[in-house]
Structure 1
Amino acid sequence: MKGINMGENGKKSIFKKVLWSMGAVMTGAILIIEISSLLLIHKDGQRAQELFEDTIDSYGVFWENKLNETSRMMLSFISAETGALYSQLCNSEDKLTVETAKLQLRSQIADMNARQGYELVTFVYVPDRNIYFSVDEKNTSYLKSQGIKENVFDYIAHNTIASKDKWSVLYVQDTPYLLKIYHMENGYIGSLYPAGHILEGLYDQEENWVLEMVDRAGNTVAHMGEPYKGMTVSYDRFLEYTDAGIRVTIGSGRLYSNKGTGVLILMGAMLFASLLIFLVLGRQTRDVFEPLERLRAAMENYSGGDMDTRLPVVHDNSQIANLFRTFNNMADQ
């Protein structure tokens, strides 16, 4: 019995071609699935960042509306149509009228502050008459009130007040405020919001956020939270009607918390799938393709005139064993 030449004429076996084709198709399918999964993870991260930015934008809109509403209410106290009390405070020669106007105007301002927030401080100042009073709902300490008064006087003395001015940053004993002043007749009315109070509404200690109020040059005016060690994502939201904005810095892991884990899982799944493919193809090669290749080679040798060609006897009931026995029987006959 003569051996079987498996590589005759250097031709590549059709079975090996099928084998490699199957491997290529399965590997390509796995790669497509992996790439698609990575794209989905990336899109999830983008959606998380968009949600993060939308949250800050919504908070910024809230404060823009609040500052705008405060400005409109201050204007209502000094306008020609609704500002009679303010006008009396500035122009009346009757002391009783002036004192009555002061009490009533203080009461109206207190109502405004109660609606706008307990942190709001609103003042009225008429320099020519040496009139100054402020209203706040949080009962600001005497030292802080005096500091606000002195800094407001200094600000008015060194700045030209115009109705189109934005809310600007004023420091009172190292505490930053957003300040807006209107000048009407011979007096002034203004409001102050602590910058820290604006940040408090967005701050969450458990989120590892670093919140800052920054000016137009990017300088930090106020901040909350500790700097995050590692990769971070920052977003700036400048507030309309002001010279300041909110900057939020957060660890990138808070936004892409599942991205790293997802990538590791996908890589592990890809390696496992690749290993499984090689194991399956290896088993198919040993049990199916190699015996079929031997059968093909035997048939070619036999048809080429080698009548002694036989296949080894396989002692099982598999289809391959049956094919081998059938070939040997046919060759014997």
Structure 2
Amino acid sequence: MEEKTKLFGYKNSVTVKSLALMIILSTAILLGMELISFYYMSVYEKSTMENYRNSLEMYCSYWDNKLDIINNSLLTVTSSSSSDSSYSNVCNSRDELVFQTAKKLLVNRMSDIAWNHENEVLVFVYVPDREVFLKSTNHLVSYDKRLEMDQDIKKYASGIRSYNSTKWDYFKSGTEDFFIQVYRIDGGYIGALVKCQTILDGVVQDNGMVSGIGLTDDEGKITYSLRGEAGGEEKKDTAVLLIPMTHIDGQLKVEAQRQNLFGDKTTFTFLSLITVSLGLLLLAWNVRYQVKAVLGPLNKLRSVMEKFSRGNLDVRLEEKNTNSEIDVLNHTFNEMAEQIVDLKIDVYEAELAREKTESNYMRVQIQPHFYTNILNLIYGLAQLKDFASIQKLSMTTGAYFRYLLGEKGTFVLLREEIQCVKNYIQIQQIRYKDEMEFELNAEEGMERQMVLPMILQTFAENSVKHNIGLVPLLRIRIDISSGNDRIYITVRDNGAGFEPDMLERINKNENISNKGEHIGITNVKERLRIFYGDTASVEINSRPGETLVKVVLPEILTQEERNEYHIGG
């Protein structure tokens, strides 16, 4: 009868049901993994192809932009509005001195263009009528091929029919492939060359992914094969991508090996099958282990907890002094039982309320936009190369967040609060420069007083946040004094002030934190109420041009204790 009851208990156990559900779901997942793996493989192939296409398009866009810059540079050299008329003088001047001087100046300008593009481009000027051929430093071919290239350029420039297009044409000299641009202006030719290899090096990787690259016409037919064997129909093991380029006559056709692009699908499938098989074996072993090592002890724990909940406070679980989770649970239950016996529920609930309030106020103090503003400010200072301000901002921000995020007790030294406010204001003054003035006066010895954290900073931040930019010069002043066992804090600014209805709600202690607005003031007043009761108060008087916040706190240290109490010197 007892065995039947035990068996019945196992069948109705949540653990057993959960274990059975886990078995069913795990088996379904493992068996479905194979089909899902093939699906995701196809998705992966599509994503990889798209990413590869995007990378090629970005790279081609980079070269399109570079070719456009070279086009503009060539046209600038020939521009009639340019202060340097060396090109025009080379083409037209009959003064020998002017002509020779213009040639030197023109070569220098062409060399500057080539140097600006890391000598990946050759710039030339050809004036057939005057038998003038000038060029920048030639790093594109070896010395013995330069004369041949010069003749090929002259022949190409004289033979083309359409000039002054933004398109770069394919050009071949000897065994080298180039892209060429030629403008015909004032009876002369000005142009530039870029090696095809220079552009294609960024497309072809050392891993053998690309098997061929070529140029195609608008219909996709290969006009020039630039690398490997590019052409024909797309093969099963090859992926073909057509990348249009704005400044090159034709499209770039790239043939990539699918195996190198997507990986070995056979290996992936084999590993997937191995994973499923191992998963099923591990699942079977896990079920056996769970029944033996977990199910039984958990049912025993449940039984003991039921007895404890019915009032048997002396019941305890056996501990085997191991590090297993079950033994840890048994030990934890025994410890908990001992604590519950002596626990005072009312003290516990009050402590929870206090911790919740502490958590809420700390969480709302750190707003994401403040991080963003600091990062944008550092970026702007870096653009201006104002390294001194960057160092100052970094040190101040580090100190500010170290205090803001650091571990703090219920109370902190007033001097730490003062330093926190100074750091915050210093950050804002770096950001807004001459738009803000700040003054803080504290009675001597007050810095050793103990106060709740983030009180000063909350009201200073409120003054900056709601007034900066609304007045030509925002002035903020904080005064701290003592008397009659009280700490008096006043925060004054010359900002726009609170709206009358908002000010009335604040002074009536109504909830004003709708959509995160003034949540800092709400938290300060709530924390003062919890920790000080009626001995603390916050009063706000405001009108356009002046806002005065008065905070009264009870002193924790007497004057004599303040004189004797030293922390950190």
Smaller-chain TM-score bracket = 0.5 to 0.7
Query: CA 1:163–1:41 in structure 2 vs 1: closer, same or farther (change >3 Å)?
Result: same
Equivalents in 2 of 1:105, 1:30: separation in Å? 73
Partner of 2:128: 127
Q: Match for 2:249: what amino acid?
A: D
Does 1 or 2 have the higher relative contact order (CA < 8 Å, sep 6+)?
Answer: 1
Measured after TM superposition, the shift of residue 244 of structure 1 is 3.9
Partner of 1:92: 93
Measured after TM superposition, the shift of residue 265 of structure 1 is 2.9
Q: Does 2:226 match 1:222?
A: yes
Root-mean-square deviation over aligned CA pairs: 3.5
The Cα offsets for residues 241-294 of structure 1, whole Å up to 9 and x where unpaired, read as 11144333332122222643332233345567789999xxxxxxxxxxxxxxxx
Q: Does 2:265 match 1:264?
A: no
Partner of 1:296: none
Provide the identity percentage.
22
Tell me the secondary structure at the aligned position of residue 139 of structure 2.
coil
Q: Does 2:113 match 1:112?
A: yes
Equivalents in 2 of 1:231, 1:172: separation in Å? 34
Partner of 2:197: 196
Query: CA 1:139–1:237 in structure 2 vs 1: closer, same or farther (change >3 Å)?
Result: closer
Q: Does 2:244 match 1:231?
A: no
Equivalents in 1 of 2:91, 2:164: separation in Å? 18
The Cα offsets for residues 79-121 of structure 1, whole Å up to 9 and x where unpaired, read as 1111511111112111110111110110011011011132311
Q: Does the Cα contact within 8 Å between 2:241 and 2:254 map onto a contact in 1?
A: yes
Q: Match for 1:158: what amino acid?
A: G
Q: Does 2:60 match 1:60?
A: yes
Equivalents in 1 of 2:133, 2:175: separation in Å? 23
Tell me the secondary structure at the aligned position of residue 182 of structure 2.
strand
The total of aligned residue pairs comes to: 260
Q: Does the Cα contact within 8 Å between 1:120 and 1:136 map onto a contact in 2?
A: no
Equivalents in 2 of 1:26, 1:192: separation in Å? 63
Q: Does the Cα contact within 8 Å between 2:71 and 2:166 map onto a contact in 1?
A: no
Partner of 1:164: 165
Q: Match for 2:73: what amino acid?
A: M
Equivalents in 1 of 2:158, 2:138: separation in Å? 27
Equivalents in 2 of 1:41, 1:74: separation in Å? 49
Query: CA 1:211–1:70 in structure 2 vs 1: closer, same or farther (change >3 Å)?
Result: farther
Equivalents in 2 of 1:149, 1:139: separation in Å? 12
Measured after TM superposition, the shift of residue 124 of structure 1 is 0.5
Measured after TM superposition, the shift of residue 62 of structure 1 is 1.2
Partner of 2:291: none
The Cα offsets for residues 23-48 of structure 1, whole Å up to 9 and x where unpaired, read as 99987655444333332333223222
Equivalents in 2 of 1:107, 1:259: separation in Å? 56
Partner of 1:149: 150
Partner of 2:482: none
Equivalents in 2 of 1:173, 1:184: separation in Å? 28
Equivalents in 1 of 2:62, 2:29: separation in Å? 49
Equivalences for residues 1-333 of structure 1 within 5 A: 30-82=30-82, 84-138=85-139, 140-164=141-165, 166-216=167-217, 217-223=221-227, 231-257=237-263, 259-270=265-276
Q: Match for 1:50: what amino acid?
A: E
Query: CA 1:195–1:126 in structure 2 vs 1: closer, same or farther (change >3 Å)?
Result: same
Q: Match for 1:156: what amino acid?
A: A
Q: Does the Cα contact within 8 Å between 1:161 and 1:181 map onto a contact in 2?
A: no
Measured after TM superposition, the shift of residue 213 of structure 1 is 3.4
Query: CA 1:273–1:108 in structure 2 vs 1: closer, same or farther (change >3 Å)?
Result: closer
Equivalents in 1 of 2:223, 2:98: separation in Å? 47
Q: Match for 2:253: what amino acid?
A: R
Tell me the secondary structure at the aligned position of residue 177 of structure 1.
strand
Equivalents in 2 of 1:212, 1:135: separation in Å? 29
Q: Does the Cα contact within 8 Å between 1:211 and 1:246 map onto a contact in 2?
A: no
Query: CA 1:213–1:29 in structure 2 vs 1: closer, same or farther (change >3 Å)?
Result: closer
Equivalents in 2 of 1:261, 1:162: separation in Å? 55
Q: Match for 2:61: what amino acid?
A: V
Query: CA 1:231–1:51 in structure 2 vs 1: closer, same or farther (change >3 Å)?
Result: same
Partner of 2:474: none
Tell me the secondary structure at the aligned position of residue 205 of structure 1.
coil
Higher CA-based Rg: 1
Q: Does the Cα contact within 8 Å between 1:45 and 1:259 map onto a contact in 2?
A: no
Q: Does the Cα contact within 8 Å between 2:111 and 2:136 map onto a contact in 1?
A: yes
The Cα offsets for residues 135-180 of structure 1, whole Å up to 9 and x where unpaired, read as 1352744442222222222223322242125111111113221111
Equivalents in 2 of 1:143, 1:94: separation in Å? 34
Equivalents in 2 of 1:175, 1:244: separation in Å? 19
Query: CA 1:30–1:153 in structure 2 vs 1: closer, same or farther (change >3 Å)?
Result: same
Q: Does the Cα contact within 8 Å between 2:209 and 2:261 map onto a contact in 1?
A: no
Equivalents in 1 of 2:282, 2:41: separation in Å? 25
The more displaced of 269-278 and 26-35 is 269-278
Is there any run of 5+ residues in structure 2 with no aligned partner, and where? 1-22, 285-569
TM-score by length of 2: 0.41
Query: CA 1:215–1:226 in structure 2 vs 1: closer, same or farther (change >3 Å)?
Result: closer
Is there any run of 5+ residues in structure 1 with no aligned partner, and where? 1-22, 279-333
